[in-house]
Amino acid sequence: MGLETARLLARDGAAVVLLGRRQQTLDAVAATIRAEGGTALALATDITRADDVTRVLDRVRAELGPVDVLVNNAGSASSVLNPQWLPHDEWRQVLDVNLTAVFQLTQAVLPDMLGRGTGTIVTVSSLAAVNPNLLGGAAYGAAKAGVRNFMTFLHNTFRNQGLRAITVLPGEADTPILDNRARPPAPEERADMVRPEDVAEAIRLAVALPQRVVLQEIVVAPTRQRDTSADLEISRWAGAPADAAPQA
């Protein structure tokens, strides 16, 4: 979703800054954007570390000026979905990436946006925020609900100072994260899912609309709803102790 969003915004003339853990991956995305005639700056960053966020934002301001649009797209899910057995370190890691990092990046860009009386912050949450279950897991659903709440707080608090705070809630999407599920969906199941470019188009629309208009919350869901009952049952026992899981 981040790749497709960056490509679309760059095609619209935005100078895109790519943040992520792996420089090589970011460089590949930046090369794709530049090959399409866009401008991209790739900066390896641990967005869960406040000092790392401050460092890269200082560089962005120095090279490109203040940030006009922030898109929070990084996501992480736990391998254990059931809170009965969810390790505490996995819980913290999921909240750090999906919630704390959004707060830290937002805090870093707010002074410029509020000072200029204009700015847009888009955060990719999930329908797990409103319908949490074992597909995403306890930690993921809690983090996505938290970030949705935080974006609503920004909307309610700063809209009259020119800030647009937008939450995007994708449904089940065909992205590589599905490969890490307790039961990865089959290709034919993925065919009807939301695709990354669908979410990117929604973000592009929200960003491109006149500043006087805010799409406060956008749900991007598959038209067809698949049966996930088997997935939920398998996910229930992922990470369970051997003596707790049902016998085959």
Of all residues in the chain, what percent carry a pLDDT higher than 70? 99
- Position 180 scores a pLDDT of 85
What confidence tens digit (pLDDT) does each residue in 164-214 have? Answer: 999 999 999 999 889 888 899 999 999 999 999 999 999 999 999 999 999
Separation of CA 116 from chain center? 26
Across the range 25-46, mean pLDDT stands at 96
What confidence tens digit (pLDDT) does each residue in 218-228 have? Answer: 999 999 999 99
| Residue 25 backbone phi and psi in degrees, to 5 | -65, -45
Checking if the pLDDT of 248 tops 60, the result is no
DSSP 129: G
Catalytic residues: 140
What confidence tens digit (pLDDT) does each residue in 136-172 have? Answer: 999 999 999 999 999 999 999 999 999 999 999 999 9
Question: What's the predicted TM-score (pTM) here?
Answer: 0.95
Across the range 89-93, mean pLDDT stands at 97
DSSP 244: T
Across the range 88-101, mean pLDDT stands at 97
Q: What is the mean pLDDT of the chain?
A: 96
**Per-residue 3-state assignment (H helix, E strand, C coil) for 39-98:** EEEEEECCCCCHHHHHHHHHHHHHHHCCCCEEEECCCCCCCCCCCCCCCHHHHHHHHHHH
Greatest Cα pair distance, the chain, in angstroms, is: 62
Q: Which CATH architecture has domain 68-237?
A: 3-Layer(aba) Sandwich (3.40)
- Position 247 scores a pLDDT of 61
- Position 243 scores a pLDDT of 87
